[in-house]
Amino acid sequence: ATANVQVAVADNGFTLSMPLNRKVDLGGIVRALDPDRVRDQLRASLEGTDLLQRYFRIDATRSLMILKRYKGHEKSASKQQVDSDMLLGFASELEEFAVVEETYREILEDKLNVAGIEEVVGAIAAGELAVETVRVNSPSPTAFGLATLLASDVVLAEDESAVLQEFHERVVAEIDDIDREDRLRSD
């Protein structure tokens, strides 16, 4: 059976979203990662993703494989993306095509910080870092932006503000509950 797992990537992290009816041992999955295979696994998981397509379009434009202007006429972003998708299809079949390799490098190293991931996974494998799973009802203030990435994709634009406001209120309520518990313990 397959599960609908969604991934959203931002500058300061990523979010995984899984159906609530699936029991997944996230700690076990993280502990089972092999630090020597993380880079290859991440690269393989990028194939066919929107993230790869977007970054390839940018890199192909930088390398002048896709033109923003042709014969004095501006090409729309959607036309550039179509051109990019076709080019990526051809280029992916070529071994070590420079622009494809740069796209993977940019995502893995600049966007996802694969070296940092390898370091953390290595520390976990060596027993220097423990993995703990903690269930919470709402994200921390630091993780709020990441948590809203997927939520904002799901709702209609006119409802987005209300959903995000309700989400924010849940986070604030959770913080208030934690503060109250801390005060009770210290008394």
| 164 contact partners, CB below 8 Å, separation of at least 6 | 148, 151, 152
pLDDT tens profile 98-124: 888 998 999 999 988 899 999 999 999
Domain assignment present for residue 41? The answer is yes
pTM above 0.95, yes or no: no
What is the per-residue burial (b if ≥16 Cβ within 10 Å, else e) of 81-106?
eebbeebbeebeeeeeeebbebbbee
Whether residue 151 is found in the same domain as residue 116:
no
Q: Which of 34-38, 51-55, 176-180 is predicted least confidently?
A: 176-180
Q: Which two tokens stand for residue 64?
A: 């002048």
Domain assignment present for residue 152? The answer is yes
Q: In terms of residue numbers, what domain contains 49?
A: 33-126
Q: Are 58 and 82 in contact (CB under 8 A)?
A: no
Whether residue 89 is found in the same domain as residue 148:
no
Whether residue 180 is found in the same domain as residue 116:
no
Alpha carbons 91 and 65: distance in angstroms, whole number: 11
Pick from 37, 33, 42: which is nearest to 113 by CA?
42
Q: Which residue has the higher pLDDT, 186 or 38?
A: 38
Alpha carbons 143 and 174: distance in angstroms, whole number: 13
Which DSSP state fits 74?
Answer: E
pLDDT band (50, 70, 90) for residue 56: confident
Whether residue 154 is found in the same domain as residue 74:
no
Mean per-residue pLDDT of the chain? 78
Domain assignment present for residue 153? The answer is yes
Domain assignment present for residue 8? The answer is no
Domain assignment present for residue 4? The answer is no
Answer whether residue 159 shows pLDDT above 80.
no
What is the per-residue burial (b if ≥16 Cβ within 10 Å, else e) of 160-184?
eeeeeeebeeebeebeeeeeeeeee
Pairing of strands 73-74, 6-10: unpaired
Alpha carbons 177 and 187: distance in angstroms, whole number: 16
Whether residue 40 is found in the same domain as residue 101:
yes
Q: Are 36 and 125 in contact (CB under 8 A)?
A: no
Domain assignment present for residue 3? The answer is no
